[in-house]
């Protein structure tokens, strides 16, 4: 059992809450799959983290050890996000080979996670959110300097003014 992780992570959440005037959500990243802890332990940690003010668990699998072998497939970590969300009753972010708009949308619509967090696909296409919105028929504003390559009728992004 990853007792140290269980003690340190919620303890950090409390410390952070005491130090920071929160204007934005507090996220905690997990690395499951027997490196730091198994999924049962991750559920328990997530439940405790929620009680200590964490808003969302980013459900990763670590990947920090050379001998760690993780079978890869599209959305390979989504089941962790789904299980933690259901059993620990906390918002989760799904990671792991999420590469298409449809796949991302399905994960959210099927309530497997509350958001998707992309790494490699964002390196391939830094404008993935804009392209995904376009493919899903959602009109998002684009930065003014990109409007000349945006789809017809795309609204201009307004400065946030903060
Ligand atoms: C260039 C790169 C750097 C990363 N650095 C970190 C890191 O510092 N800490 C971490 O927990 N995960 C890190 N990751 C893992 C990603 O956050 C993500 O969980 C993983 O790549 C799976 O998502 P993906 O299939 O969308 O890439 C990194 C991934 C990439 C591609």
CATH number at residue 68: 3.20.20.70
153 assigned to some structural domain: no
- Residue 40 Cα to ligand 1 midpoint, Å, equals 23
Number of domains in the chain: 1
131 assigned to some structural domain: no
Above 60 in pLDDT, residue 145?
yes
Above 70 in pLDDT, residue 8?
no
**Domain interval for residue 103:** 3-124
- Residue 44 Cα to ligand 1 midpoint, Å, equals 24
144 assigned to some structural domain: no
For the purposes of burial, counting CB atoms within 10 Å of the CB of 52, is it exposed (0-12), middle (13-18) or buried (19 or more)?
middle
- Whose Cα sits closest to atom 6 in ligand 1? 119
- Angle, nearest 10°, between helix axes 39-51 and 3-19? 30
Give the pLDDT confidence score for residue 53 in this predicted structure.
84
Residue with the two structure tokens 């964002």: 122
Of the listed ranges 51-60, 63-72, 79-88, the least confidently predicted one is 63-72
């Amino acid at each position: 059992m990853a007792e140290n992780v269980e003690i340190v992570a919620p303890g950090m959440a409390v410390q952070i809450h005491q130090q920071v005037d929160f204007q934005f959500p507090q996220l905690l990243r997990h690395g499951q799959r027997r490196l730091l802890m198994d999924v049962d332990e991750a559920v328990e940690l997530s439940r405790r983290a929620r009680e200590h003010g964490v808003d969302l668990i980013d459900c990763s699998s670590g990947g920090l050890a050379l001998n760690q072998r993780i079978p890869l497939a599209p959305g390979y970590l989504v089941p962790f996000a789904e299980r933690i969300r259901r059993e620990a009753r906390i918002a989760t972010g799904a990671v792991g080979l999420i590469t298409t708009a449809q796949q991302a949308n399905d994960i959210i619509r099927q309530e497997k996670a509350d958001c998707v967090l992309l790494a490699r696909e964002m390196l391939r296409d830094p404008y993935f959110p804009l392209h995904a919105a376009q493919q899903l028929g959602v009109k998002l504003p684009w930065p003014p300097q990109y409007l000349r390559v945006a789809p017809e009728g795309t609204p201009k992004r307004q400065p946030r003014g903060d």
